[in-house]
Amino acid sequence: MENKMKASAFLLLLCVILGSFGICKAGGQIKEVVEKLCQNLGIVGKLGIGNEDHAKGLKMDYYEESCPQVEGIVRNITWSKVANNSTLAAKLLRIHYHDCFVRGCDASLLLDSTSNNTAEKEASPNRALTGYEVIDEIKSKLEKECPNTVSCADIVALVARDAVSYQFQRPIWKVPTGRKDGRVSLASEVLPSLPSPFADFPTLLQNFENHSLGINDLVTLSGAHTLGRTHCTLIAKRLYNFTGKGDTDPSLDSDYAETLKTICPVPINPATTLEMDPGSSLSFDSHYYMALNQNKTLFLSDSALLTNPQAAALAKDLQNFDDFLEHFKVSINKMGAIGVLTDGKGGEIRRTAELSILKSSWF
Ligand SMILES: *[C@@H]1O[C@H](CO)[C@@H](O)[C@H](O)[C@H]1NC(C)=O
Ligand SMILES: *[C@@H]1O[C@H](CO)[C@@H](O)[C@H](O)[C@H]1NC(C)=O
Ligand SMILES: *[C@@H]1O[C@H](CO)[C@@H](O)[C@H](O)[C@H]1NC(C)=O
Ligand SMILES: *[C@@H]1O[C@H](CO)[C@@H](O)[C@H](O)[C@H]1NC(C)=O
Ligand SMILES: *[C@@H]1O[C@H](CO)[C@@H](O)[C@H](O)[C@H]1NC(C)=O
Ligand SMILES: *[C@@H]1O[C@H](CO)[C@@H](O)[C@H](O)[C@H]1NC(C)=O
Ligand SMILES: *[C@@H]1O[C@H](CO)[C@@H](O)[C@H](O)[C@H]1NC(C)=O
């Protein structure tokens, strides 16, 4: 009897400790195990079950009542991280893109693989992504301030905005919130869902239309290539063997192609990276479109934009930063609404313990 009480006291303590962690990378089975355990101990709700309200879709200030500090907390932590290392801005924006294009903006990208499931994170286009630790740090802080309230999916959307906005010292677009987190994350869905850097215009547009986005969104969201770097492996074919005859892609500016060859010599070193927007890869600006119009972008999917007259015309207009920003505000929020799990659509506020702790205890 005494032992049994000791055991329950221990488990109760464990639930409380686990409940105080906020981590976006564990869900599904682990969450179920913890919830069942804690439900048995009578602390239902601690881990984020129930407590849903019934708003229909995304809206501004969704957390106005439930967690008014959310935007301040996300911004403070994100800004301090980006201030320390400006390469993070591109990484945090990319997490938002890669999350939304696969199963919608439901933070499924953040889930870790489990014994019977290989998660999105492990698919090839996602293996180079980093910056997840910023999201987890914010999640932990928010779980302390407003437990069970803010979804990982909303954090991802807010962090992307704040990471990009740091250089302006003000938020440069508004983010409607109210997303819930998904429970399913399948590596096999990633390649078919993400737009490919090797795709031609019709394929890109089809991919965007599959996500309820159009030509304007395609051209505008491509502007995110103003930030960040990529690997030589993704452009090797364009530089050295475009049609299989040892040739260079003629749609690439020939001087620029020579420069790229010096950065990415044969044999290609998979570790070598290069700026997507030459000379300006840490700055969110419209320089990408200037490079694009000079045939100086890296991916086939960039050059492809110039092969469609409507897209090419917009790519000219967006060389103006104010125009780019106006378009970006609209398109990033259309992207941020892809497949969202709002109330009543089967999502949850993910909130569970760190995988490794549970592994050592129960698995
Ligand atoms: C964010 O940081 C500012 C300046 O350091 C501080 O005044 C403010 O209270 C912080 N906000 C939150 C919500 O932590
Ligand atoms: C700042 O960045 C460096 C290197 O990227 C990292 O080692 C360090 O932990 C970061 N500091 C903070 C406070 O995040
Ligand atoms: C920023 O972080 C990246 C990796 O996340 C690292 O390669 C780079 O050296 C860091 N920059 C600085 C200035 O610490
Ligand atoms: C993994 O196994 C658990 C239980 O063992 C099951 O509930 C879950 O559906 C399985 N997941 C997949 C993706 O098969
Ligand atoms: C668009 O969706 C259809 C139907 O799901 C799919 O077969 C097709 O491969 C998708 N196309 C692209 C380019 O993603
Ligand atoms: C160039 O492409 C052709 C056809 O795909 C292939 O046979 C050849 O091995 C490639 N050359 C190099 C150097 O990769
Ligand atoms: C870009 O390439 C196209 C052909 O692919 C060419 O018509 C155009 O003149 C080039 N633009 C510049 C600025 O070199």
How far is it, in rounded angstroms, from Cα 311 to Cα 208? 13
| Secondary structure letter of residue 51 according to DSSP | -
Domain co-membership, 231 together with 323: yes
Query: How many domains, the chain?
Result: 2
Residues 20 and 148 in one domain: yes
Domain that holds residue 76: 11-190+348-362
Q: Are residues 35 and 163 in the same domain?
A: yes
Q: First-to-last CA distance in the chain?
A: 26
Co-location of 217 and 170 in the same domain: no
Per-residue pLDDT 10s for the chain (363 aa) are 455 455 555 544 444 444 445 678 876 545 544 444 444 443 333 333 222 333 348 999 999 999 999 999 999 999 999 999 999 999 999 999 999 999 999 999 999 999 999 999 999 999 999 999 999 999 999 999 999 999 999 999 999 999 999 999 999 999 999 999 999 999 999 999 999 999 999 999 999 999 999 999 999 999 999 999 999 999 999 999 999 999 999 999 999 999 999 999 999 999 999 999 999 999 999 999 999 999 999 999 999 999 999 999 999 999 999 999 999 999 999 999 999 999 878 889 987 533 323 322 222
Q: How many Å lie between the centroid of ligand 2 and the Cα of residue 135?
A: 15
Residues 227 and 206 in one domain: yes
Q: Is residue 111 one of the residues assigned to a domain?
A: yes
Q: Is residue 3 part of a domain?
A: no
CB of 146 within 6 A of ligand 1: the answer is: no
Q: Say whether both 138 and 265 belong to one domain.
A: no
Residue 319 lies inside a defined structural domain of this protein: yes
What pLDDT, on a 0 to 100 scale, did the predictor assign at position 126? 96
Smallest Cα–Cα separation from 270: which of 299, 234, 245? 234
> Measured between alpha carbons, how far is 43 from 302 in angstroms, rounded to an integer?
52
- Considering the domain boundaries, does residue 341 fall inside one? no
- Shared domain for 301 and 202, answered yes or no, is yes
Residues 151 and 267 in one domain: no
- Please report the atom of ligand 2 found closest to the CA of residue 81: 14
Do 167 and 219 sit in the same domain of this protein?
no
By the 8 A CB rule, do 350 and 341 touch? no
Q: What is the DSSP string of 248-266?
A: --TTS-HHHHHHHHHHSPS
| Per-residue pLDDT at 35 | 45
Report the run of H or E that residue 170 belongs to, with start and end: none
Question: Prior bond to 125 cis, omega within 30?
Answer: no
Q: Are residues 18 and 124 in the same domain?
A: yes
Query: Whose CA is closest to atom 13 on ligand 7?
Result: 294
CATH number at residue 175: 1.10.520.10
Query: Minimal CA–CA distance to 81: which of 19, 25, 23, 135?
Result: 135
* Phi–psi pair at 341, nearest 5 degrees: -95, 95
CB distance 40 to ligand 7 below 6 Å: no
Verify that 211 and 129 share a domain, yes or no.
no
User: Of 261, 198, 271, which is closest to residue 231 (Cα–Cα)?
Assistant: 271
Q: How far is the CA of 222 from the centre of ligand 6 (A)?
A: 29
Quote the CA–CA distance of 84 and 52 in Å, as a whole number: 37
**Residue 340, in any domain of the structure:** no
Catalytic (active-site) positions: 98
Residue 30 in domain = yes
**CA–CA separation, 145 and 158 (whole Å):** 17
Q: Quick check: is 1 in a domain?
A: no
CA of 245 to the centre of ligand 6 (A): 7
pLDDT for position 88: 97
Indicate whether residue 210 lines ligand 5 (CB < 6 A): yes
Phi, psi of 137 (to 5 degrees): -65, -40
Structure tokens at 6: 């000791």
Verify whether ligand 1 is closer than 6 Å to residue 72 (CB atom). Answer: yes
Determine which residue's CA is closest to atom 1 belonging to ligand 3: 85
Atom of ligand 4 nearest to the CA of 117: 13
Provide the whole-model pTM: 0.85
Instruction: Decide whether any atom of ligand 4 lies within 6 Å of the 29 Cβ.
Output: yes
In a domain, 226, yes or no: yes
Say whether both 180 and 200 belong to one domain.
no
Q: What is the rounded distance in angstroms from the CA atom of residue 159 to the CA atom of residue 144?
A: 18
Q: What is the pLDDT of residue 292?
A: 98
| Three-state DSSP class for residue 334 | helix
> Is the CB of 295 inside a 6 Å radius of any atom of ligand 7?
yes
Q: For residues 97, 98, 104 and 110, what is the CA-based torsion angle, rounded to 10 degrees?
A: -120
Residue 247 is encoded by which pair of tokens? 């040739």
